[in-house]
């Protein structure tokens, strides 16, 4: 390996800088959204008008999911108005486009400990990310370095409630149909090929799983009138999504709490038994790590 030469970078303060101003920063983010460290996201809109509320600096979207990011940029230190404006624009967007998951993102040169504490109070109730951004110069070149100082809090899973409301099988047979509930039985048979002690747990909002008397919801089932929705808790994977798509299964989305939602018909359960078994085994093995 070639010997690398140490180079010292010089920080450039952007606030009050005539050349490298907020418009310049917004343009750099719009050209290359990946610099924010939010993944492979793309530009949806810039200087987006908000009804009776000004302009949203940048709107980004994850092309692989239903998540959008409402980005507000501020040079210098973040302040109360910046926080309020970010949350306001996030709220407007989520109400206008409820089919998407929305995350508010604050970008500032300096996120002080005081305001970091204030922002943290909202986290868990409002999906919010704080990113500290610094401009660095080396010779005649300049770059933006972004550091995520507050990440979106992972939401607790519905099935992890301390005391979920327990129901019986007849509750789900009335809410869906007996035939659809039997699909959960069939999926349990698939699970028994690699985890024979797992059993169904009937809760009000889902059919969960237990193993040796303890909840283990690596997969849950939500029977509907004409199908059962399988919710698979596993890491997001483009390869996995490709496999699901190639099998012709109805992949609804990947949720903000880390589950793939797949709508299964009777034919799907019958024809894709081997693949569904592999999917659930993969989630089971991840849950044991």
- With 90 as the cut, is the pLDDT of residue 70 above it? yes
Please give the average per-residue pLDDT across 247-271, as a whole number: 89
Q: What is the CATH number for 237? A: 3.90.1150
- With 70 as the cut, is the pLDDT of residue 154 above it? no
Do both 134 and 182 map to the same domain?
Answer: no
Q: Terminus-to-terminus CA distance in the chain, angstroms? A: 36
Higher pLDDT, 52 or 225: 225
Q: Where are the alpha helices (DSSP H) in 193-272?
A: 238-246, 266-271
- With 60 as the cut, is the pLDDT of residue 158 above it? no
**Contact at 8 Å (CB) between 134 and 11?**
yes
In a domain, 253, yes or no: yes
Nearest C-alpha neighbor of 230 from the set 195, 186, 199: 186
- Compute the distance between CA of residue 86 and CA of residue 271 in angstroms, rounded to an integer: 47
**Contact at 8 Å (CB) between 222 and 206?**
yes
Please give the average per-residue pLDDT across 180-190, as a whole number: 96
Do both 213 and 91 map to the same domain?
Answer: no
Q: Give residue-wise pLDDT tens across range 208-218.
A: 999 988 899 99
CA atoms within 13 A on the CB side of 3: 2
Last residue of one domain, picked from the residues 113, 132, 150: 150
For residue 154, give every residue at least 6 positions away whose Cβ sits within 8 Å of its Cβ, in sequence order, or none.
257, 258
Nearest C-alpha neighbor of 288 from the set 154, 194, 184, 163: 194
In a domain, 3, yes or no: no
- With 50 as the cut, is the pLDDT of residue 161 above it? no
Do both 164 and 264 map to the same domain?
Answer: yes
Percent share of the chain, pLDDT over 90: 51
Nearest C-alpha neighbor of 183 from the set 281, 286, 271: 271
**Contact at 8 Å (CB) between 108 and 94?**
no
**Contact at 8 Å (CB) between 70 and 59?**
yes
**Contact at 8 Å (CB) between 59 and 33?**
no
**Contact at 8 Å (CB) between 71 and 107?**
yes
In a domain, 16, yes or no: yes
Owning domain of residue 215:
158-287
Torsion of the alpha carbons at 276, 277, 283 and 285, rounded to the nearest 10? -160
Q: What sign for the dihedral angle of Cα 188, 190, 195, 196?
A: positive
Do both 39 and 142 map to the same domain?
Answer: yes
Do both 145 and 226 map to the same domain?
Answer: no
Q: Give residue-wise pLDDT tens across range 17-54.
A: 889 999 999 999 999 999 998 888 889 999 998 887 78
In a domain, 2, yes or no: no
Do both 146 and 175 map to the same domain?
Answer: no
Do both 231 and 133 map to the same domain?
Answer: no
Count how many domains the chain has.
Answer: 2
124: left (phi over 0), alpha (psi -120 to 50) or beta: left
Do both 112 and 133 map to the same domain?
Answer: yes
Do both 141 and 162 map to the same domain?
Answer: no
Do both 123 and 54 map to the same domain?
Answer: yes
Please give the average per-residue pLDDT across 70-90, as a whole number: 90
Nearest C-alpha neighbor of 109 from the set 133, 87, 73: 133
- Compute the distance between CA of residue 281 and CA of residue 277 in angstroms, rounded to an integer: 6
In a domain, 269, yes or no: yes
Model confidence at 157, pLDDT cuts 50, 70, 90, reads very low
pLDDT at position 36 is: 92
Q: What is the CATH number for 111? A: 3.40.1350.10
- With 70 as the cut, is the pLDDT of residue 1 above it? no
pLDDT at position 256 is: 65
In a domain, 81, yes or no: yes
Last residue of one domain, picked from the residues 150, 167, 201: 150
- Compute the distance between CA of residue 215 and CA of residue 157 in angstroms, rounded to an integer: 12
In a domain, 167, yes or no: yes
Q: Give residue-wise pLDDT tens across range 102-146.
A: 999 999 998 877 777 777 777 667 888 889 999 999 888 999 999
Nearest C-alpha neighbor of 64 from the set 27, 104, 101: 101
Do both 15 and 68 map to the same domain?
Answer: yes
pLDDT at position 150 is: 79
**Contact at 8 Å (CB) between 37 and 146?**
yes
Model confidence at 155, pLDDT cuts 50, 70, 90, reads very low
In a domain, 5, yes or no: no
pLDDT at position 205 is: 85
Please give the average per-residue pLDDT across 206-229, as a whole number: 91
- Looking at the DSSP assignment, which residues form a beta bridge with residue 166? 203
Model confidence at 2, pLDDT cuts 50, 70, 90, reads low
Last residue of one domain, picked from the residues 100, 132, 150: 150
Do both 63 and 193 map to the same domain?
Answer: no
CB atoms within 10 A of CB 270: 11
């Amino acid at each position: 390996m070639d010997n690398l030469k140490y180079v010292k970078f010089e920080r450039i303060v952007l606030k009050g800088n005539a050349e490298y101003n907020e418009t310049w920063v917004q343009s750099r983010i719009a050209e290359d959204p990946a610099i924010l460290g939010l993944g492979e996201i793309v530009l949806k809109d810039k200087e987006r008008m908000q009804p009776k509320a000004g302009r949203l600096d940048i709107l980004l979207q994850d092309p692989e999911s239903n998540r959008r990011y409402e980005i507000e940029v501020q040079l210098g230190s973040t302040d109360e108005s910046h926080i309020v404006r970010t949350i306001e624009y996030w709220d407007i967007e989520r109400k206008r486009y409820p089919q998407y998951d929305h995350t508010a993102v604050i970008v500032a040169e300096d996120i002080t400990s005081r305001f970091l504490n204030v922002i943290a109070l909202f986290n868990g109730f409002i999906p919010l990310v704080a990113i500290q951004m610094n401009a660095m110069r080396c010779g005649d070149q300049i770059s933006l370095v972004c550091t995520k100082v507050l990440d979106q809090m992972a939401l607790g899973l519905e099935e992890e409630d301390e005391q979920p409301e327990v129901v019986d099988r007849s509750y789900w047979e009335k809410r869906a149909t007996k035939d659809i509930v039997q699909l959960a039985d069939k999926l349990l048979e698939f699970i028994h090929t690699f985890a024979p002690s797992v059993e169904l747990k009937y809760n009000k909002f889902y059919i969960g799983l237990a193993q040796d008397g303890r909840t283990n919801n690596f997969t849950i089932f939500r029977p509907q009138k004409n199908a059962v929705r399988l919710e698979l808790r596993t890491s997001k994977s483009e390869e996995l999504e490709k496999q699901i798509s190639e099998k012709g299964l109805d992949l609804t989305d990947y949720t903000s709490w880390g589950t793939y939602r797949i709508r299964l018909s009777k034919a799907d359960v019958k024809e894709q038994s081997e693949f569904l078994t592999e999917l659930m085994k993969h989630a089971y093995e991840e849950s044991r790590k």
